[in-house]
Amino acid sequence: MKLTTTFTIPRSPYLIRPNSRILCIGSCFAENMGQRLDTLPLDVSNQALGTLFHPLNILRGLSPQTLQATDLYKQGNFYVHPDFHSQFMGADPEEFISRLTELKSKTLTFLGRSQYLIITWGTAFYYEDQVMGRAIANCHKQAASRFLKKQSTVDEICLAYKSFLVSNPHLKVIISVSPVRHTRDGMAENAVSKAILRLAADVLVSKFPDQVTYFPAYEIMLDELRDYRYYQADMIHPTDLAVNYIYERFKQAHFTDNLLVISKRWQEIYNTLQHRPHPLQFPEHREIIERLRKEIEADQSGVDSSKLMKKIDQQILALS
């Protein structure tokens, strides 16, 4: 008995290996993927610039940019930047710009050393600040009269990414469309927006087959997980169960066999570390964890196990 519609996802021609460096950026779904990848022997930069939804705003975050205090918005007693998420704010404009510049510099340096770039596009809609005369990533609750809502075209998105890809030939780029629906835009409008993103991704994959692949997170959510039990209470965002399912599909499509084996083993160890024994069983449980530590220490494969060792040492200390 089949209770869902499934489909085959082709295995990527350039698989992620242990110790690879990966930058994740885009919508909140990219963050969900990045959090899971960061538990493995991978060097991951996850949403360093905060949540970004529009393809061109994401690209601006990945490109050199001169940040100026004159571009800041005032939000209460703090300043925010229209190209950054609201998680970033500062009381002093010059100090805030300096902090953002440093953050941007570190992100670009990490990107230059990365083998993989995972991007999740959220929407084709964006807002143009009519005072500054340019598109921005976040309105930061400024007066609506200041902004003009627009929608990017497939050609506009592809032209910008073509330039980026040509300038970064070392990068293997994995593009996905966020399964989160932007209901505030309207359901019909959201469908058009997602279609633009999907078409743009398809064009880039066809033009850069040796550099770009598409991961169908959007299609998995809408087809394989076509049931509201896989959505949170807002009926928009996927549940952890749904995200974990999509992540499993991602691993099968983008991990080497070796990394798949490591992922399975590390998950078993994480499960052991999360176990909370009765206090009288602390000594026995600590012995189990110490044996795991010796097993990892004895590994000669060259895999960076520092993340896992840190978790193990924390648990051993907690059981002391």
90-127 pLDDT, tens digit per residue, is 999 999 999 999 999 999 999 999 999 999 999 999 99
Q: 150 with 189: CB under 8 angstroms?
A: no
pLDDT at 278: 87
State yes or no: pLDDT of 28 exceeds 90: no
- The three-state secondary structure class of 286 is helix
Q: Does the pLDDT at position 1 exceed 80?
A: no
Least Cα distance to 104 among 212, 23, 158 occurs for 23
In angstroms, the CA 178 to CA 182 distance is 10
The whole-chain average pLDDT of the chain stands at: 95
- What CATH number labels 21-255? 3.40.50
User: Would you kindly state where each structural domain of the chain is located, as residue ranges?
Assistant: 21-255, 257-320
For residue 296, CA distances in Å to 156, 165, 274, 292, 317 come to 49, 38, 18, 6, 18
Instruction: For residue 216, name the pLDDT band (cuts at 50, 70, 90).
Output: very high
